[in-house]
Amino acid sequence: MRENLYILLVMLLTVPIAGELKFHPFQDDFRISFGTTAFFFLLLWLRPSFMAGLLTGATVVLFRIMLDWMSKDLFDFVLSFHMHLPAFFFYATFAGLFSLFRVNRFHHLPLWVGLLGTAAEIGANLVELSFRSPSWENVLHLSVIGPITAIALIRSFFVLSFFNIIQLRQANWMEKQQRSRNERMLMLISNLYEESIHLKKTLQQVEDITRACYDLYRNMKEQGADVWRDRYSKQALSIAGQVHEVKKDNQRIYAGLSKLISDQNERDYMPMGELVSIIVRAHEKYARLLEKSIRFQTDVTAPYLACHIYTTLSLINNLVANAVEAIQDKGTVTISASLSESRQWIQFSVEDDGPGIQVKDKQLLFMPGFTTKYDVSGKPSTGIGLCYVKEVIDNLQGQIEISEERDAEGTRFIIRLPIASLVQKG
């Protein structure tokens, strides 16, 4: 509603002014102007259109009367009103025919819109001429209808071309926005996938703690002294109960996450080239957030290979994020993906030219909680990223290794996965 009001206001302001850019094809008061062009263009955006035609026609008449009053020394209101009144019927008829033909329902058929717009303008011009001419015989003549038809046809398709260009740009912008939203959603679900792995592991740990607490309680009841039975056995049972409640809550959360991310359908797969592009765009933003100048290079030998979205993003995102964080101020991150000659394995590599990893740390990198990263306040990172990557790769029966040149800076992580565990089955 508000958008229609804005368009109507623009129409009431622009059409009268554009109508003064004119010429007179029949050497009388009848004019061909840019006002009709602006009116037709704005009608394509406006629904409904008939009332807009009435208001525009009235505004045009008042505007032209005001110009006569300002420009003529001897102003005759009745004469000026009589001379400009036919313009009202032009805009009213144009909008009436436009609404009757329901032109705005055919935006997907440009040729049809152009022809209907031409017909509406021809009809409106004939109505205006009938008010200016003493008889219909002077109006319904080939020398009159011919030029009107030619001008209406040219103007209608000119307006339509301009309108379609704007619509195309708008569609491209909307597609870009939708693609950006889809990418953010993919990254979100990828992160949920990662969290579900940790949650599943936590569930097992909670189950073990619950069992251990209950065994402790039972042993204390059976073998402990009275003081143990009265004091500590109840405490052990209370701990077991609390841990059991945590386990139940985690199970409900895990069930919801699993349902969200485990449905195997075509929407869960995407060509490898597009996945790598999403990763690059996301980490370009991350690098800017960290105020680093990082260039990303890609080398994907099978860009159309459909890979599981969330597994791929979860694994590669962790490694690329680590590479971005490892680089001090500026550098290069290279992401590669290729198939083995036997087409049984798919290999990913993420390489950076950062300071590299200490040799003594390599054996500890995949251990839970181990980290070499600290924030500005000195607090360590959680150290679960590479641990998670290693666990997922092990579950997929793959391999991960670190390749590092002794005499060069930088680190390269290499992942090899069975293609059957990652690629859509065709």
* Predicted pLDDT at 134: 73
* Predicted pLDDT at 383: 47
Residues 333 and 399 in one domain: yes
Q: Residue 177 falls within a domain, yes or no? A: no
Domain boundary among 235, 264, 293: 264
Residues 127 and 203 in one domain: no
Asked if residues 102 and 92 have their Cβ atoms less than 8 Å apart, the reply is no
DSSP classification of residue 420: G
* Predicted pLDDT at 36: 85
Residues 193 and 296 in one domain: no
Neighbouring C-beta atoms of residue 71, cutoff 10 Å: 8
Residues 301 and 417 in one domain: yes
CATH of the domain at 370: 3.30.565.10
Residues 288 and 414 in one domain: yes
pLDDT below 70 — which residues of the chain? 23-31, 48, 187-208, 210, 214, 217, 220-221, 223-267, 358-364, 366-385, 404-408, 425-426
Residues 273 and 255 in one domain: no
* Predicted pLDDT at 334: 94
pLDDT, tens digit (0-9, with 9 covering 90-100), for 202-246: 666 666 676 777 677 677 667 655 655 566 666 666 666 666 666
Q: Looking at the 3D structure of the chain, how many domains does it have?
A: 3
Residue 214's domain spans which residues?
Answer: 184-264
* Predicted pLDDT at 314: 80
Residues 242 and 309 in one domain: no
* Predicted pLDDT at 382: 43
Neighbouring C-beta atoms of residue 362, cutoff 10 Å: 13
Which residues are CB-neighbours of 2 under 8 A, at least 6 positions away? none
Residues 215 and 351 in one domain: no
* Predicted pLDDT at 185: 72
Q: Residue 360 falls within a domain, yes or no? A: yes
Residues 241 and 302 in one domain: no
Q: Residue 9 falls within a domain, yes or no? A: yes
Residues 247 and 106 in one domain: no
Residues 111 and 11 in one domain: yes
For residues 223 and 208, what is the distance between their CA atoms, to the nearest angstrom?
22
